[in-house]
Amino acid sequence: MVFTSGQFGGQENKETAQHRETLLSDSFIENLPGFCFLLDLNGTLLRWNRELQEKTCLPAEALRGMDFFSIVCESDQELFSATLARVMTLAHASGELRIWTGEGARDYLMTGNRIEIAGVPHFLGNGVDVTDRKCSEKALLRQLDEVSQVSRIFDELDVIVLVSELEACSVFYLNRPGAQLFGADWLGKSCNEVARCGEAFPCNCACPARPITGGGRAPDPHEYQSTETGRWFQCVPKAIPWLDGRLVRMSVVTDVTGSRELALAMENMVSTVSHEMRTPLTAMFGYTRILQEKRVGQGELHEYLRIIARENERLIEMVSNFLDLQRMKAATKVSDPPPLEIAPLLEETAALFAKSSKRHRVGIDTPVLIPPVMMDPEPLLQILDNLLSNAIKYSPRGGAVTLGVTPGGEFLVIWVKDEGVGIAPELQDRIFERFYQAGSGAGRSFRGTGLGLSVVQEIVAAHGGRVWVESLPGAGSTFYASLPVAKGKG
């Protein structure tokens, strides 16, 4: 308890003193609001009102002449004694005092004034019970502290946590990731408005008709597309008891755009793989059945076997490239290989392709000194094989195919230039997609898997580089792949 003091100024005249004595009659004090009492200098209770008697649950005989200190809690008695003495000097004091009542110890906000009756100073006290208010304040502070602790946990999550009223669905809590995504104007709005799910009304998940508490079956998650961003979210709502005990609706919202796109890509990939594999399998099966069911001449036999062998090679290439691509996708990181001198691999690969195609002039254009790169030989050979085979395939009339290297800073650029059919500008962004082939269609004349350039892109990206193409229809193409130079060698 802390009392503050003050002093009245001026001297009272005789008429004022008489008027005060009249006001302090038993009937007057008895009808005063609050906890009212009159004490002498020793703290003896002289007069009191009805509320004091009701609160202490003591009869009038016990109250009359009672030592007021007997109902002051022991912890506050010394302070009240000093306050009583101070009021007699300074005329006024106020503060909190803990009083014993029929309900136990209660907190009162007290005001004390010095009153002179027949020239003798007295203490007139008046108090208001603030116990319930203080309990409410403590409960509010405790709840705010609990909310703060919950917020610190929810704010660190990588999901959106949204809490709303169970019936009205008006949002009263949103964690930091949710506020960053949905904006600051969310308080009091319905959950469907905040989440921008495109629904006119909140969904019926975790509604009052089917509250789900601990031990109950959780509702099935539902997905929706944001009308603002177009991204997809998964929402899992559940009815839970909140910090104040009431049942509320908590929704955990997760961005599932990436997983939906991955699922769609996988579905498309399976469909494309099935389609692409069906062509060579159908050809091999068809020609095999012909050979089984009828006799053919030596010329036809060689032609049929050539076609079967070609389609078999195509199927092997497709499976090999597909497995390479999946392996690159699954790899979490590239190991730290020793520096690789690439000049011997460039010469070996160029010589191999020069022998395999008589219509193409395969050459090399490299500087005398080529810095080593940070990669293993196998992925580099995959890059070279796919770029050179792509250049030869799309140069059906032959011509020059050049394998070159351009050093530059932290990266070394390997390039392959051909004099083939070229690529239209609108198709150049798509040629690195899986199974895509420039010129593909019902009447395409170029056979292949459409995976080679995808493999190149995955390998280069895994090593921190990039791939790109420069091309014009009818003027050939140049493919580039940048690879990291070994540290200290650039």
**Site of tokens 């005060």:** 20
321 SS3 class: helix
- Are domains 3-129 and 156-255 of this chain identical in fold? yes
Claim: this prediction has a pTM higher than 0.85: no
d(CA 153, CA 155): 6
pLDDT at 3 (0 to 100): 45
| Domain ranges within the chain, ordered by starting residue | 3-129, 156-255, 271-330, 343-484
Residue whose C-alpha is closest to residue 259's, from 290, 221, 289: 221
Q: What are the pLDDT digits (tens) for 24-65?
A: 556 667 777 788 889 988 899 988 888 888 888 999 899 989
pLDDT at 220 (0 to 100): 65
pLDDT band at 407 (very low <50, low <70, confident <90, very high): confident
pLDDT at 66 (0 to 100): 92
User: Average pLDDT of 260-280?
Assistant: 73
* Pairing mode, strands 360-365 and 399-408: parallel
pLDDT band at 403 (very low <50, low <70, confident <90, very high): very high
Q: What are the pLDDT digits (tens) for 153-201?
A: 887 788 888 888 887 788 888 888 888 888 888 888 887 788 776 665 6
d(CA 435, CA 454): 8
> At the topology level of CATH, where does 271-330 sit?
Helix Hairpins (1.10.287)
CATH ID of 343-484, from 2.60.40.10, 3.40.50.1100, 3.30.565.10, 1.20.1250.20: 3.30.565.10
Round the average pLDDT of the chain to a whole number and report it.
79
pLDDT at 111 over 70: yes
d(CA 311, CA 478): 28
**Any residues with CB less than 8 A from the CB of 361 and at least 6 apart, and which?**
354, 398, 399, 400, 401
> At the topology level of CATH, where does 156-255 sit?
Beta-Lactamase (3.30.450)
Q: Which residue type occupies 424? A: A
* Pairing mode, strands 160-165 and 247-255: antiparallel
CATH ID of 3-129, from 3.30.450.20, 3.30.530.20, 3.40.630.10, 3.30.460.80: 3.30.450.20
pLDDT band at 449 (very low <50, low <70, confident <90, very high): low
pLDDT at 21 over 70: no
121 SS3 class: strand
What secondary structure does DSSP assign to 13-64, as a single string?
Answer: -HHHHHHHHHHTSHHHHHT-SSEEEEE-TT-BEEEE-HHHHHHHT--HHHHT
Residue whose C-alpha is closest to residue 40's, from 142, 97, 116, 126: 116
